Amino acid sequence: MARSRSASTLPEDLRRDIEKAGYLPTVVDDVVATALGAEPVVAHVVHQEMTFDAETVRRHVTVLVLTEHRLVIGHADDHESSEPGQQHVATVTTEVVPLRVVRGVMLTHVIPAPEGYAGGLSGRAVTLTLGWGSVSRLDLVPASCGDPQCEGDHGYEGTVAGDDISLRIAADSEGEEALAGALRFAEKLSARLGR
């Protein structure tokens, strides 16, 4: 039997943030609630973004939910359908990650006029990057020996980065409340790692 919107098990503040993001709130609410189950929510972040290509505006929402033992990640995306007669579809995916496997929480703060910084991390933006080893990126460049006349093949060198999810939250576009919420989420998640 289908669950009605009013029967959602999500906390009111999380439901409100999903609604405020404005992209398929009933679908996102139901999918996140299904992945979460009955486990209480400790903190959450809802991040909505749009991308533009030559002919289309695509919407995307990411929901991060922290519980005592798990990190629940939900993504909803716009897509063009490959089926005749259908022009638009959405895909909504959830991933549940046990906190014991989360390897890191990285915050990159953007602080305008840092010489006048008075404390409180009241910057304009933060990038929240989480890693648990599901996705790795390999960046390769041709290696060189330092001799500008050398034409030898020195292979490649590069770096491996493991950032499974990265969200940029800016006060100027999402608001001060969203920025403060992302900082609270990162603080609570960081405090639970390594337990």
Tens digits of residue pLDDT in 100-156? 999 889 999 988 888 888 777 667 899 998 988 765 556 667 777 878 888 888 777
Look at residue 31 and tell me if it is in a domain: yes
> Stretch 44-64: mean pLDDT, rounded?
84
Q: Minimum mean pLDDT among 30-39, 67-76, 143-152: which range?
A: 143-152
The residue behind tokens 């608001």 is: 175
Main-chain dihedrals φ then ψ at residue 15, nearest 5 degrees: -60, -40
Look at residue 84 and tell me if it is in a domain: yes
Residue numbers of the domain that contains 65: 5-99
89-98 and 165-170 beta bridge pairing: unpaired
The number of folded domains in the chain is 1
Look at residue 175 and tell me if it is in a domain: no
Per-residue model confidence (pLDDT) at position 1: 41
Look at residue 74 and tell me if it is in a domain: yes
**Confidence at 159, pLDDT banded by 50, 70, 90:** low
**Confidence at 3, pLDDT banded by 50, 70, 90:** very low
Look at residue 65 and tell me if it is in a domain: yes
Instruction: Check which CATH number belongs to the domain holding 87 and give it.
Output: 3.10.450
The CA distances from residue 140 to 14, 131, 143, 160, in Å, are 40, 20, 9, 9
Instruction: Report d(CA 71, CA 29) in Å as an integer.
Output: 16
As a whole-number percent, the residues of the chain with pLDDT over 70 amount to 84
Look at residue 150 and tell me if it is in a domain: no
Look at residue 79 and tell me if it is in a domain: yes
